[in-house]
Amino acid sequence: MSRNRTTPESASLGVAEAGLSTTLNNAHDGAGAASPVVCLYGKGVAKGYAIGRAVVMGAAALEVAHYRIAPEDVPAESSRLTEALASAQHELRLLADTLPADAPRELGAMLNVHSLLLGDPLLAEQTLALIAERHYNAEWALTTQGQMLGQQFDAMEDEYLRERGADVRQVIERVLHVLAGTSAILPDMSHMGGDDALVVVAHDISPADMLRLRGGRFAAFVTDLGGPTSHTAIVARSMGVPAVVAMGNVRELVRDGDMLIIDGAAGAVVVNPSDRILQEYRRRQAVYADERAELGLLRDEPSVTLDGIDIVLHANIELPEEAALALASGAHGIGLFRSEFLFMGRPDLPGEEEQYEAYSSVVKVMAGRPVTIRTLDIGSDKTLDGEATVATNPALGQRAIRYCLARPEMFATQLRAILRASAHGPVRLLIPMIAHMHEVVATKAAIESARRELDARGQAYAPHMEVGAMVEVPAIAIAIEPFAQALDFLSIGTNDLIQYTLAIDRGDHDVAALYDPLHPAVLRLVANTINAGERAGKPVAVCGEMAGDSRMTRLLLGLGLTEFSMHPQQLLDVKREVRRAHSNALRIKVATALNRALPVDLDALGPT
C-alpha cells in the first residue's frame, strides 16, 4: 500500500527513511515557502534511480458492461469471445516473433506463459459456459471467470505462486481490450513534448507491454498492483529499469506531467520535488551509475574475504531463461531453481519430457556449474487441476514435500526428469519444507525407484546426485544434527524460517512490521544449522532474502556462512561486501552479539 499525499512535514519524515531527512527538512521554493513535497511508498522491485515526467495510464480495468443476452444470441456472443481470444493469441505471437535481439531472455518465456493461459480450458471453456448457461455478455463472463481464477491465486500462501495471479489479470485485460476494439494498453509516448525522461504510472503492466517501454525516453514505472516475484518485476530487473509496485492508488495521487523521482531500492516515489531534492537525487543517480560500473568489474574477480575464506555465490532463478542472467552476473552455479512455473496456469500436469527439457536447458547453459533444482513447492490451498481446496491454514497444511509424497506418480515424473537432466551436468535435488526424517527416507526411496525406471528404459542419468533439504521449519533447525548427517547439503530458506519462528505472516499488514530477520531466535537457528553443517562436513547455504541483502552479508559471514544464493542482480553487491570483510573477525563479533537478548546491531559489524 502507498502512503497518501503528505504535507511537507510528513513528507520529511517519509523520505527520512530513504535517507533524505536533511534535504527535505530544508526544502523550500524560491520564495522560502515549504514545497508541497509528496512521498509515496510501495515495494521496490528493481534498484536504481530515475527522474522524469509522469505519464499516467487510464484505469487498466476497462469499464466492462454487464448485461444478459437473449438465448438466441449465445452462439454469436460465444464466437465474439472465441475470436477475441484468437486475436489476443495472435498479438502475443507477433510480439514473440519480433522480439529484438537484445530483449531480456525472460520475455520470450513469459509471452509463452500468457499464450498458454489464453488457451487454458479453465479460462476459455469456463467463460464460454458462463455465456451459454447464464447468458452473460462476453466481457462480463470473462471478468467473472478471471476473478474466480484470481481469487484462487490470491489465497495461496507462497508469494511466488500468489503473484502468478497477475498473469491471469494481464491476459484477461488483453482480451478485454480486443473486445473493446483497442489492443494497445500502453499510451504512445512518442508525441510527448520536451526532453525529460518519462515515468509510466499504471494500474499494472504486463511483461509483453514492457516491450514498448524499452529505450527512448522511458526511464521507470510505478504501478498500483504487483510484487517482487511477479513476471513484470523479473523483466524490470533484467532490463535494469527502476520500478516501484504495489502502491495501491498511485494513479489517483499523480497527474500527467508531474515530476517524479523513483528510488527503486527504497520503494519510494517523490512527487514534484524541490530543486534541492532534485539536485540530491541527481547526485545519487550519478553515484549509483558509477557504483554499477565498478561492480561490473568484479564479475570475474574471486569471491574471497580479506582473510582468504572462499565464499560461494549462487543464483536463484524462477525460469530457465534466467540462467543466462546468472552467468552474466558471475554466479558459481544455481542455488535454487524453482520448478513451480511448470505446474501453474494450466489444467494438466507437465509431462516428463517437458520437465526434462526445462531442467536440462538450465544445466546446459550453466556448463558444468552446479544446478540445484527444488522439487515442487505448492500449498494445500490449491490442487494442480485448478480446483480450490479448503485449508484452515495453508502454510501448515499439505504442501511442498508433503504434497509430493502424497502424489507418488506426479512426484516420480518430476524425479525422473530431474535425474535425466543430471546426465548433462552436476544437478543437486533440494527438498522443500522437510520437518521429519521419514520424509527424507521416503524421498530417497522415491529417487531410487525413479532410477530403476530409467534403468529399465535405458535412459542416462548421473550415477550420483546430491540430495539436500530446505531448512525452513524451526523443528529441523533445532534438531539439525541427524539431517546434516543424512543429507548431502542444507539450504536455509530464511523467508519461511522467520515466519514460522516468529509466527508472522509477511503478507498481513497488521503484523508485517514484526517480521524481523535479526531476531536472536532466528539468528540462533541459522547459526545452529551452519555449525551442524561444519561438524558434518556438509555445505550449508542461505537462499532466502537475507542472502541477497548486502546489508546482511557481514552478519551471515559472522555466523560462519560460506555459501549464498540470491537473485542474479544482487550477486555483485554481495561479492563486494565479501571482498571487504574479514570473516574470522566477524565471527568473534557475531558470537558475542548472539549472547544478547536484543537483535544484532548491523552497524556494530561495520568495517572490520
Q: What would the pLDDT profile of 99-146 be if each residue is shown by its tens digit?
A: 666 666 666 666 777 887 887 777 888 899 999 999 999 999 999 988
Beta carbons within 8 Å of 379's beta carbon, 6+ residues apart: 156, 157, 158, 161, 391, 394, 395, 397, 399, 400, 403
What pLDDT was estimated at residue 569?
Answer: 82
Q: Is 231 a catalytic residue?
A: yes
Q: Where are the alpha helices (DSSP H) in 157-297?
A: 159-162, 165-180, 231-239, 250-253, 275-296
User: Are 207 and 221 in contact, with CB atoms under 8 Å apart?
Assistant: no
**Residue 397 pLDDT greater than 80, yes or no:** no
Find out whether 212 is annotated in a ligand binding site: no
What pLDDT was estimated at residue 29?
Answer: 42
What pLDDT was estimated at residue 90?
Answer: 84
Classify burial at 309, counting beta carbons within 10 Å of its beta carbon; exposed 0-12, middle 13-18, buried 19 or more: middle
The Cβ of residue 565 has, within 10 Å, a number of other Cβ atoms equal to 26
What pLDDT was estimated at residue 251?
Answer: 86
Mean pLDDT check: name the lowest of 311-315, 397-401, 421-425, 495-499: 397-401
**Residue 25 pLDDT greater than 70, yes or no:** no
What pLDDT was estimated at residue 600?
Answer: 75
Find out whether 112 is annotated in a ligand binding site: no
Helix (H) or strand (E) segment spanning residue 119: none
**Residue 33 pLDDT greater than 70, yes or no:** no
Q: Of 223 and 597, which is predicted with more confidence?
A: 223
What pLDDT was estimated at residue 19?
Answer: 40
What pLDDT was estimated at residue 389?
Answer: 44
Find out whether 374 is annotated in a ligand binding site: yes
**Residue 385 pLDDT greater than 60, yes or no:** no
Catalytic residue among 177, 203, 543, 567: 543
Helix (H) or strand (E) segment spanning residue 315: strand 312-317
Classify burial at 520, counting beta carbons within 10 Å of its beta carbon; exposed 0-12, middle 13-18, buried 19 or more: middle
pTM of the model: 0.72
Catalytic residue among 231, 424, 519, 582: 231
Q: How far apart are CA 202 and CA 319, in angstroms?
A: 25
Q: How far is CA 231 from CA 206, 242, 388, 392, 548, in A?
A: 8, 15, 23, 29, 19
Which residue's C-alpha cell is 514492457? 210
Domains and their CATH numbers in the chain: 8-60+186-294 (3.50.30.10), 71-180 (1.10.274.10), 297-597 (3.20.20.60)
pLDDT band at residue 456 using 50, 70 and 90 as cut-offs: very high
pLDDT band at residue 567 using 50, 70 and 90 as cut-offs: confident
What pLDDT was estimated at residue 383?
Answer: 46
Mean pLDDT check: name the lowest of 27-36, 255-264, 465-474: 27-36
Find out whether 97 is annotated in a ligand binding site: no
Q: Which three cell numbers stand for residue 84?
A: 477475441
Q: How far apart are CA 448 and CA 108, in angstroms?
A: 36
Q: How far apart are CA 436 and CA 233, in angstroms?
A: 35
The Cβ of residue 154 has, within 10 Å, a number of other Cβ atoms equal to 12
202-252 pLDDT, tens per residue? Answer: 888 877 667 666 666 889 999 988 877 676 787 787 778 899 998 988 988
Which residue's C-alpha cell is 548427517? 485
Pick from 10, 18, 6: nearest CA to 47: 18
Q: Which three cell numbers stand for residue 248?
A: 495501491
What pLDDT was estimated at residue 382?
Answer: 41
Q: Which residues share a beta bridge with 338?
A: 374
Q: Which three cell numbers stand for residue 410?
A: 506426479
Q: How far apart are CA 258 and CA 246, in angstroms?
A: 20
What pLDDT was estimated at residue 137?
Answer: 93
pLDDT band at residue 438 using 50, 70 and 90 as cut-offs: very high
**Residue 388 pLDDT greater than 70, yes or no:** no
User: Are 554 and 605 in contact, with CB atoms under 8 Å apart?
Assistant: yes
Q: How far apart are CA 146 and CA 170, in angstroms?
A: 10
User: Are 123 and 210 in contact, with CB atoms under 8 Å apart?
Assistant: no
Q: What is the percent of the chain with per-residue pLDDT over 90, rounded to a whole number?
A: 52
Find out whether 346 is annotated in a ligand binding site: no
DSSP tag of 118: H
What pLDDT was estimated at residue 493?
Answer: 95
- Mean pLDDT along residues 414-443: 98
**Residue 287 pLDDT greater than 80, yes or no:** yes
**Residue 37 pLDDT greater than 50, yes or no:** yes
User: Are 265 and 44 in contact, with CB atoms under 8 Å apart?
Assistant: yes
**Residue 12 pLDDT greater than 50, yes or no:** no
Mean pLDDT check: name the lowest of 203-207, 226-230, 278-282, 495-499: 226-230
**Residue 360 pLDDT greater than 80, yes or no:** yes
Find out whether 506 is annotated in a ligand binding site: yes
Q: Which three cell numbers stand for residue 208?
A: 509483453
- Mean pLDDT along residues 306-312: 97
